[in-house]
């Protein structure tokens, strides 16, 4: 019993903390790369990831984390891709300003 208590106190799993997904989903949309990286947070999956675009030899990155949560990792990844496509369609390159 005491061992379990110490293990939970000093464990690095951090159940209440956000933890990035071990797998990232990458989707191409126009000249942009959408990388969905849902984060585990309190038993839910938070919608997060990044949008990238190459400008010559430079890659610009826009990273975001939304308040939206989903019950599973795949749903959070799909929602991130959907939101990223909408953002790209509305803002284009100004995402990186």
- Domains of the chain (ranges, CATH numbers): 18-96 (3.30.160)
Report the predicted TM-score, pTM, of the whole model to 2 decimal places: 0.75
- 3 state DSSP class of 35: strand
Mean pLDDT by 10 residues, the chain (97 residues): 42 45 82 97 95 97 94 96 97 95
* Helices and strands in the chain, H and E counts: 2, 6
Confidence (pLDDT) at 24:
80
- For residue 6, the model assigns a pLDDT of 38
């Amino acid at each position: 019993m005491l061992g379990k208590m110490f293990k939970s106190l000093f464990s690095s799993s951090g159940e209440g903390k956000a933890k990035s997904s071990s797998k990232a989903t990458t989707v191409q949309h126009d000249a942009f790369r959408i990388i969905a990286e849902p984060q585990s947070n309190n038993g839910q999956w938070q919608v997060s990831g990044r949008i990238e675009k190459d400008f010559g030899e430079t890659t610009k990155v826009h990273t975001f984390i939304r308040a939206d949560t989903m019950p599973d990792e795949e749903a959070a990844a799909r929602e991130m891709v959907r939101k990223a496509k909408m953002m790209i369609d509305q803002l284009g390159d100004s995402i990186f300003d």
